[in-house]
Amino acid sequence: MFMVVVLGLGAWPPGVFAQTTNQRNTVNINERGVVRLQAVIVQIGAQSLSVRSWLGEWVIHLSSQTRLVAGGNRVPLSLWKVGDRVVVDGNLRQSGMTLDATKVNNKSLSLVTLHGRVLSITGNTLTVSRDGGTTVGVVVDPSARIQLDGRVVSLSEIRSGMRIRAKGVFTTAATLSAVRVDLGEFQRGVIRGSISNLSSMTFTLRGQQLRTRVEMMPDTVFQVRGKKYALADVSLQNGLYVVVTGYLSGDRAYLAADTISSSSIRLK
């Protein structure tokens, strides 16, 4: 069951606002023709998706500027499948149920994180001994972000023996397609201090005798007075005292944050 509200009878777009109340297949269109829809993928092309949502099938055009994400990480289209549920943001074309997508968020794709040590490297495939004893192949996607002790590096800088933290999708029981790779002697750690040099995804944490660059991940959890929030829900400030938990480099100069806690974090 759904409801449609239409304001304005001009050409579409602009001048039309429509919204359904079907929570599984929602379509929102504002007066400028900007669309957000929830849908199910029915076909995947080289530069397009066909999805089923309210009113039927929509065509989603993709470009090099379209952000394809899952769990806050960029994920290549090769890992997507027919039947995945997506949320699409884009601009409506004059031709009707056709969008130029600015962002497509795959809600069905679950990313996993593995930890281990690199045994060998062949092309873009790493053989990794996982913590726990099993051996897997980690295929590093060309678009993957690779960092060594918090510094962005290329695939060619990965060496056997390095500790690895890889995030991606298991395409087989023994193969992970990685969209994010962090290298270094990381270990779980907790640091406390005041925020400085704040940017959109990083800040410096100043402790008594320590300066640590903290990187906030798309899935970093913010704990405020006993409740959990996402990055989009909070507003950080320089000078704020926080407790940060995550994966800390051996020299304690870099930390990939899992959790940031403070009762003084402001909510948006």
Residue 130: how many other CB atoms lie within 10 Å: 16
Pair of tokens at residue 204: 């410096």
Residue 13 has pLDDT above 70, yes or no: no
Instruction: With beta carbons less than 8 A apart as the criterion, state whether 63 and 108 touch.
Output: no
d(CA 259, CA 157): 29
* CATH 3.40.50.970 applies to domain 187-267: no
Q: What pLDDT sits at residue 185? A: 79
Residue 79 sits at φ, ψ, to 5 deg, of -95, -5
Give the SS3 label for residue 156: helix
Q: What is the mean pLDDT of residues 20-41?
A: 80
Give the SS3 label for residue 231: helix
Instruction: With beta carbons less than 8 A apart as the criterion, state whether 267 and 235 touch.
Output: yes
Q: What is the mean pLDDT of residues 202-209?
A: 86
* 8 — pLDDT class (breaks 50, 70, 90): very low
Q: What pLDDT sits at residue 72? A: 78
Selected residue with higher pLDDT from 21 and 163: 163
The per-residue pLDDT of the chain, averaged, comes to 87
* 234 — pLDDT class (breaks 50, 70, 90): very high
Of all residues in the chain, the percent with pLDDT exceeding 70 is 91
Radius of gyration of the chain measured on its C-alpha atoms:
22
Q: Which CATH class is domain 112-183?
A: mainly beta
Q: What pLDDT sits at residue 23? A: 56
Which of 71-75, 139-143, 153-157, 193-197 bottoms out in mean pLDDT, i.e. has the lowest?
Answer: 71-75
Backbone conformation region of residue 219, classed left if phi is above 0, alpha if psi is from -120 to 50, else beta = alpha
Q: What pLDDT sits at residue 10? A: 35
Q: What pLDDT sits at residue 95? A: 78
Q: State the DSSP string of 176-216.
A: EEEEEEEESS-EEEEEEEEEES--SSEEEEE-SS-EEEEEE
Q: What is the mean pLDDT of residues 34-48?
A: 94
CATH number of this structure's domain 18-106: 2.40.50.140
Selected residue with higher pLDDT from 26 and 121: 121
Q: What is the mean pLDDT of residues 159-164?
A: 91
How many helices (H) and strands (E) the chain has is answered by 0, 23
Selected residue with higher pLDDT from 217 and 234: 234
Instruction: With beta carbons less than 8 A apart as the criterion, state whether 75 and 110 touch.
Output: no
For the chain, the structural domain boundaries read 18-106, 112-183, 187-267
Q: 28: exposed, middle or buried (C-beta count within 10 Å: 0-12, 13-18, 19+)?
A: middle
Domains 18-106 and 187-267 share a fold: yes
Q: What pLDDT sits at residue 7? A: 33
